[in-house]
Structure 1
Amino acid sequence: MFASSLLGIQDIPQKALRRILARRSASPRGSALRQRAIVAACRIPRVRSAASKALITYYATATAPRPRPLSMVGDYASWVSLTDRSYSSRHLPPAPDNVTLPPESTVDALFERTEFAPSTDTSVTFMFFAQWFTDSFLRTDRSDFRKNTSNHGIDFCQIYGLNETKTRMLRAGVGGRLKSQLIDGAEFPQFLFCPRESADPAEPLVIKPEFEGLHDPDFLARIQQVSPAERHHATFAVGLEYGNSTVGHATFNIVFLREHNRIAAELAAAYPDWDDERLFQTTRNVMIVLLLELVIEEYIKHIGAFEFPLTIPDFMADEAAWNRPGWIPIEFDLLYRWHSMVPDTFELGAARLGPRDILDNNPLIIEHGVAELITAWSGQRAGRFGLHNTPLFLNRRLVADLPSVTEATTRLARKARLRPYNDYREDFGLPRLTDFAQLTADRRLQATLAEMYGSIDELEWYVGIWAEDYPAENMMGELMMVMVGYDAFTQALTNPLLSRQVFTEETFSPVGWRIIHETEMRRDAGILQQIVGRNADGPVRARFRC
């Protein structure tokens, strides 16, 4: 009966759908039973597909589809604002110039951690993956905050680079493979720098000739100045400048480089007459779809309430009004500053690693291996979303002339002249709040925000999305959830590889088609577990849920 009612879920008015899916029972026991019933029903493929389609439609239509009339290029619509994607998009027009806001330092103080608040069930593996994943398309131009230097889509630029020139530098040129090296029998990306002639870590490093132009050396040096110089010789040659900035970045680059080369080897064995170019391009197609599956069916699933079991409905976007070219808005860039997830220390066996231990530390990965690190992260809870939970090393300056991560975020939000929190609620189909008590039950925070802003209608959007209360089975507040859902689904599902004309066995080859369909969510192993497991250097546990 429950399953048959879900089969008609696509006919439910969309504004009612989210209330049905997110509603909590009067008791925790009733809520848990209801959630288990939904998960059980969605094991039926037709039910799962129908429910996924309805949920995706709700989020993808929460606000008007792209294109928006304005981008960060200016305050009025122009041909440039409609076509030049080197500028970030924006959801709402800018706020007036004469708005009076609290001092930036006062806002920054709202985020500083007073005591670590752990998440309900989110692992550090999820935290590292989120950072690795979003840094591929949330790329604010450091010379002009209005611009985004990404390709505005999910294209695996983390391992392939942002353009074909950089991709060529990273390719091995044989067998469709990416350049790699073996260290104690394990595969890693090649090192970016030539070996030092001496053991002196102060000796300047020189980029290998084959990788010249891959990254701006001055920007790399700026990234690396927060970590000890003796680690920099082990910098890997990967697609993005931040690809070595944390052990999480580097570990996921290693995993997916290995997966690319593993698939390329399978294709080469199956199709011996294919040249390097066809092997590489087909492998890249398979890899991007695997990432899309991982993101939608496991990553976004974890973000949603009680891990609602999502699937990618076949060709759903083809006829949808929201099927428009991807264009990252400035709000999406800012709402993904999930700094409160970062714990104060990172567990590795009996050891506790501090913040500097995870920065630009590829020797740590080489020593311990992918399996040990990801298993440790999957057993440690990340931080809870909310104010007063950003660790001190992100809220305070590590280098005197560099703003802290929190400072940089507050500055960007102010420079973008974002509309108030309530305006975004209204734009995304949510009722405006009339009092700070509707935002949070924390009376001390209510009083602080009232003193800072006076009226909830003046509350800054970036503060509001972090101040929102939310139930334990959710990961974030209501407005952030809707905004993440809108941009995530409309960016991921409009990928050309998922369109009816392209998502065929011919595009991926019979072997690639098999790999895609065999790598699916299973009760015993998620997609992440399968991909990491076949590329790890030992038994591994890879989970977003802790």
Structure 2
Amino acid sequence: MTVTSRPPQEGTPPWTGARDRSRDGLRNRLETHLLTHYGPAWQTAQRRRWLHRRLNSRLIDLAVLKAPPRPNPLSTKAPYTSWDSLTDRTWVGRQLPPVTKARRDLPAPERVAELFRREGEGRFCTRSSALLPAFAQWFTDGFLRGHAATGDPRRTDSPHTLDMCQLYGDREEVTACLRAFRGGRLKSRIVDGGEFPPALCEGGRIREEFRAIRPVRFEEVPEEFVDTLFAWGGERAHAHIGPMALNVLFLREHNRVAGLLAAAHPDWDDERLFQTTRNTLIVLMIRVMLEEYINHITPYHFGFVLDPVRTDRGVWHRENRATIEFSLVYRWHSLIPSAYTIAGRPVPLAHTIANGQVVLDRGLGPLFQDLSRQPAGLSGLFNTDPLLLPIEAHSVAVGRELRLAPYNDYRAYYGFPRVTDPRQISGDPRVQQALLEVYGDMDAIDLHVGLFAEEPEPGAIFGRLLERIISVDAFSEALNNPLLAPRLFGPATFSPEGWEVIRHTRGFSDLVHRNLPEDKGRYVVSLGRSAADARAAAG
């Protein structure tokens, strides 16, 4: 994966280094400097396997322990610790206690949402492709979930671990309706030589065989798109084309691996083939998430690897619990383009949401290349498409309903000094002025706003607090998966064939190019921007 710089869009001032770093903390600045400089030394260390493994384990520990380890004393059940709050996982976890007295002078969520409004085409990321926000949404849809029955933001249906329920479903009856019950496979259909999930609906209604699937906000899907929806385990009918393409990709990989296992083990029944294939797919996804996704969003010279035998020793190994704070971190709406360039023509964002026909018409390989060649939006304020502004307002409103502590309190929790001036958040005068006009007091800034107001360091994609929260929770969420326990992490759990698939898969490109029976061409598939694409986008 090649990462290059791209000149800023016309009218977008370049990064000037003007942000005041006096409130970053000396230790934080030193650690960042060491990890983002001395590239040749880091490359030399990584060529020595024993040293790479030691550094990998040590740096993951360092990242996760930037915050107190789980279990968190509180959940959204009550402002005190109880046995129910620790064990009833239908309540969302929380890292800081609720504020005891809500401020009455805070601006309305709708006014705050205007801080995110994109003007025109917006600003583009110099490092990342549009595949990045697509994978982030698909990945987090598996464990950052609401409570479908009540809509109560304090409750969740989350499995609190990475189990790929966005593909397989979170309940036995959903999984059953998606299985073919032959050869360990999932149901699928062939369209123009390519394999795709079955249609969820027919004649505007969910088909009887998929009645166990209960997509949220199904009633909001435009009538002309209802019959284009795919049948899968995820609850979000409103997914856009990126997460749709990823579910198609992992469906194909599931059925491909099931075929390998069936050929190698003719004595295995459908149940064993399915369960062993699912084990393989879950760990395969974790490996791609860690070794391509995490390595892309961190601006470090060091490349993290999946090495559960060493990382399992971490003192932070505790049962996972999704938190409201981690959910707010993943509201990456500014990274989503206002239009996708598909087959050389712009398609407005609204026409790519819940529209499976786009995926069928374009095909998997060409669509992944389209996403990989288009830049993601730049993370930050003033860069969210107006279509998504109601979600920004909702994010602020949920934070207040749950009485989340303000942005400055979370800086302190994660090891950063509190800011006292907007210039310590961003060097952009427009951001500084907007924060003063909307909030005035730095201690009043909502967490959701502060996370995206922070100006990234050179070479980084996100501000320092958001980056740190991702590091703490993404590593601990992924590496606490039971399939990664040393006793389980081996051929006995995944079969010798599944084990080889896991060992020899390094990224999205590997997955895509072995799952294109309809097209043997080679496609650009990357979270990062190639030099050629950056030059082309620059004009």
TM-score with structure 1 setting the length? 0.87
Q: 1:342 to 1:307 in 2, by over 3 A?
A: farther
Matched, 1:501 2:481: no
Verify the 8 A CA contact 2:406 2:445 in the aligned structure 1: yes
Q: How does 1:259-278 map to 2 (within 5 A)?
A: 259-278=253-272
- What are the superposed Cα offsets for residues 33-77 of structure 1, whole Å, 9 maximum, x if unpaired? x33552454243233322222221111111111111110112222
Q: How does 1:16-35 map to 2 (within 5 A)?
A: 19-20=29-30, 22-23=32-33, 34-35=38-39
> Which residue pairs with 1:82 in the alignment?
86
> Which residue pairs with 2:525 in the alignment?
542
> Which residue pairs with 2:511 in the alignment?
531
3-state SS of 1:305 partner: coil
Question: What CA distance in whole angstroms lies between the structure 1 residues aligned with 2:28 and 2:437?
Answer: 33
How far the C-alpha of 1:240 sits from its partner, in A, is: 1.2
Question: What CA distance in whole angstroms lies between the structure 2 residues aligned with 1:500 and 1:18?
Answer: 32
Verify the 8 A CA contact 1:141 1:148 in the aligned structure 2: yes
Q: How does 1:98-177 map to 2 (within 5 A)?
A: 98-100=102-104, 101-115=106-120, 116-141=122-147, 143-177=151-185
3-state SS of 1:352 partner: strand
Verify the 8 A CA contact 2:426 2:454 in the aligned structure 1: yes
Deviates more, 1:432-441 or 1:292-301: 432-441
> Which residue pairs with 2:420 in the alignment?
434
Unpaired stretches in structure 1, ≥5 consecutive residues: 1-14, 26-30, 197-204, 396-403, 521-526
How far the C-alpha of 1:443 sits from its partner, in A, is: 2.9
3-state SS of 2:127 partner: strand
How far the C-alpha of 1:79 sits from its partner, in A, is: 1.7
Paired residues, number: 498
Letter in 1 for 2:442: I
Q: 1:508 to 1:98 in 2, by over 3 A?
A: closer
Verify the 8 A CA contact 2:408 2:442 in the aligned structure 1: yes
Matched, 1:207 2:211: no
Q: 1:369 to 1:381 in 2, by over 3 A?
A: same
3-state SS of 2:382 partner: coil
Matched, 1:66 2:70: yes
How far the C-alpha of 1:535 sits from its partner, in A, is: 1.0
- What are the superposed Cα offsets for residues 462-491 of structure 1, whole Å, 9 maximum, x if unpaired? 211111122231111111111111110111
How far the C-alpha of 1:234 sits from its partner, in A, is: 2.3
Matched, 1:378 2:372: yes
- What are the superposed Cα offsets for residues 159-216 of structure 1, whole Å, 9 maximum, x if unpaired? 100022211111110100001111122111111223x4xxxxxxxx232222112215
Q: How does 1:109-508 map to 2 (within 5 A)?
A: 109-115=114-120, 116-141=122-147, 143-194=151-202, 196=203, 205-215=204-214, 219-224=216-221, 227=222, 229-242=223-236, 245-306=239-300, 308-395=302-389, 404-508=390-494
How far the C-alpha of 1:502 sits from its partner, in A, is: 0.8
Letter in 1 for 2:146: T
3-state SS of 2:189 partner: strand
3-state SS of 1:241 partner: coil
Question: What CA distance in whole angstroms lies between the structure 2 residues aligned with 1:450 and 1:94?
Answer: 24
Verify the 8 A CA contact 2:39 2:301 in the aligned structure 1: no
Question: What CA distance in whole angstroms lies between the structure 2 residues aligned with 1:18 and 1:48?
Answer: 22
How far the C-alpha of 1:545 sits from its partner, in A, is: 0.3
Counterpart of 1:515 (choices 501, 506, 525) is: 501
Letter in 2 for 1:208: R
3-state SS of 1:182 partner: strand
- What are the superposed Cα offsets for residues 114-155 of structure 1, whole Å, 9 maximum, x if unpaired? 351111210001111111111111112252110121101110
Letter in 2 for 1:70: L
Bigger RCO (CA 8 Å, 6+ sep): 2
Verify the 8 A CA contact 1:49 1:313 in the aligned structure 2: yes
Letter in 1 for 2:267: D
Verify the 8 A CA contact 1:113 1:388 in the aligned structure 2: yes
Letter in 1 for 2:364: V
> Which residue pairs with 1:94 in the alignment?
98
Deviates more, 1:493-502 or 1:533-542: 533-542
Deviates more, 1:288-297 or 1:15-24: 15-24
Structure 1 vs Structure 2 CA RMSD: 2.0
- What are the superposed Cα offsets for residues 8-33 of structure 1, whole Å, 9 maximum, x if unpaired? xxxxxxx98864552189xxxxx77x
Q: 1:292 to 1:243 in 2, by over 3 A?
A: farther
Deviates more, 1:289-298 or 1:432-441: 432-441
- What are the superposed Cα offsets for residues 73-92 of structure 1, whole Å, 9 maximum, x if unpaired? 12222222111111110010
